[in-house]
Each structure stands twice: as C-alpha cells, then as structure tokens.
Structure 1
C-alpha cells in the first residue's frame, strides 16, 4: 500500500493468514496516529465521550499484554497504563483499567513505544507455540488460534473508532 502497510496474505496457511491480518491491523492503528501532536492525539471523539487516539493506543497495549502474556502464558504482569497497575483478574477489569483513561503526562510517543514493545513481546511469545496451545481466561481454556481471531476483531473494531477520531482531528479519512 502507498502508506507503507502490507496487505495481508491472500493465499497462505492458517497461521500466516492470522499473523498477517493482525500485523495489518496493528499497522493501521499506527498509521492513524502518524503525524499527530500530543494534543491532537488527546482529542476526544465527541462529548461526553473521552475516547481518543492516545487512549486507543494505550488500550491496545493493555489488550496485547492481557491476551499474549496474562492469558496465554499465565504471567502475572501488571497493567501498563492508569493509576492502578496491579494485576487484576480478567473479569474484574473495566474501562478505566483498560488504558482508555489518559494521564495528564501521557504522550503519544510514549504510548506508541509501550505498544510497540508489547506487540513485539506478543509476537515473540506466540511464535514458538502451535495454534492449539492454550491459556486460560474467565476459567476456561482458550487457544492461541482464538486469541489471534479475537485480536484481529479487537483491532478491526477500534480501527473503525480510530478512523473517526482521526477524521475529527484533522479531516483525514480512509482505511
């Protein structure tokens, strides 16, 4: 694509298809944040919503951490963003523990760096595992295959939000 993103594999095995779609959606979120100032990244969709691109990047950092570390590998890692970073059970997490709330000193560069570090860790954690490897969420086994599909769905939904947020900030639109 002209913006540097790679189109997901059109003919590939299951794993490559899942990984390439996840990579595409990650690249889309990064693309939506390109060239923004911290103030622009903090711009909310529309009152009373406080949803912002900065909050979405923080949220996706938490989502990556939860699914690829806490669920898949059972690591007791703390949350990355927010006032209460202590590990919580998945069922006890809410909107404020999901990264959407933006601290006064948060920057887009800092949020993107944390997100990129978490996606790199996620990829490294998943790489040696078969798609049927399981972790546990909400008292049930969950496969790496399911986690990939969920992550693609999570990014796709939030990239729709990101598109609307970016259009609100500076009129940029597109996928």
Structure 2
C-alpha cells in the first residue's frame, strides 16, 4: 500500500480547505505507519512512554469516534479500546493487537465521521457533549480541532518512525 497525500488547493473554499487538510493529516499518519511490521508498529517511542504508532492510530480512531459521533451527532457508541479501568487503553498494546484491526477500526471511524458531517453546514451546532464542556461546538470548530489533533500526533509519529527505521519526512 502506498499512501498518496495531496495538500488542498490553495484557492479552495472554506469547507473544502478544512476537509482537505483533515484528510491530508489522516493520510500522513497512515504514511508514517506504512511498510512496518506489527511488532514495529507496537514499538514504544522512548521508555517509560508507551506511545507507539499503532497506539496513535488506535487513539485517533477513538478521537474520530468521540468528536464525530458522540459530540457532533449525539450518539453514544461507547469507546473502542478504553474502559473505566483503563482510560488510555488504546495505548496499552499486547502481542495480540494487530495493524489490520487497528487500521480497520480507524478507517471505519473516518468513514462514519465523513458521513455524519456530510449533511451539516460549518455553522451547524453539535447535538452531543464533550467530556470537557457541555457547550456545543460548530462543525468548523470540530474540523479545526481535528486538524490540530492530527498535526500534533503526526509530529509524534514522525519521531517514532525515525527511531524505528531512520525514516524521516514531512
């Protein structure tokens, strides 16, 4: 699999620009994971941190689920990897955790995110609540936050990938 990344057009409208940058950062995370074994994808960055590329993908599946299902449309699908006993479960990997499963869960959540946002305008307000506030968010804010979330974690992914095999890049 070769991940293709394209920056949005420099003259795109606001929504196309936001969706384009979000997709660009989604593809960047996939690209950072490309060509590695499950063992490499489970490799923690630097002890004592448990941060790994597979953990980041699982985390972003949880983030997509939270913002585009729970907050945006008011669903309560429950977490994928986290529990009350292990609120950071997406980062706690075992030998049984695979890239195929993590990638499939992440892509499924991205698909649902796109579907849930498709019928809404940028000024439309969320129907659910975040764990941080009961104040609603407009879709524009959610897109902007998701771009920030991916950009920050792609920086982590860049360093983890470089540690694993020396690959570096934007």
Task: Please indicate, yes or no, whether the TM-score normalized by the shorter chain is above 0.5.
Answer: yes
In structure 2, C-alpha distance between the alignment counterparts of 1:95 and 1:24, rounded to whole Å:
28
Give 2:88's aligned residue.
96
Match status 1:20 vs 2:54: no
SS at match of 1:134: coil
Displacement after TM superposition at 1:104 (Å) = 3.8
Contact 2:3/2:30, CA 8 A, preserved across alignment: no
Give the structure 2 partner of residue 156 of structure 1: 151
The corresponding residue for 1:68 is: 68
1:166 aligns with 2:161: yes
Aligned length: 165
Q: Is the 8 A contact 2:161 2:168 kept in 1?
A: yes
Distance in 2 separating the partners of 1:102 and 1:81: 10
Runs (5+) with no aligned partner, structure 1: 87-93
Aligned to 1:140: 135
How many Å separate the matches in 1 of 2:60 and 2:6?
20
Instruction: Give 1:110's match in structure 2, choosing from 80, 101, 114.
Output: 101
Shift of 1:108: 1.1
Change (3 A) 1:3 1:57: closer
What RMSD in Å do the two structures reach over aligned CA positions?
1.8
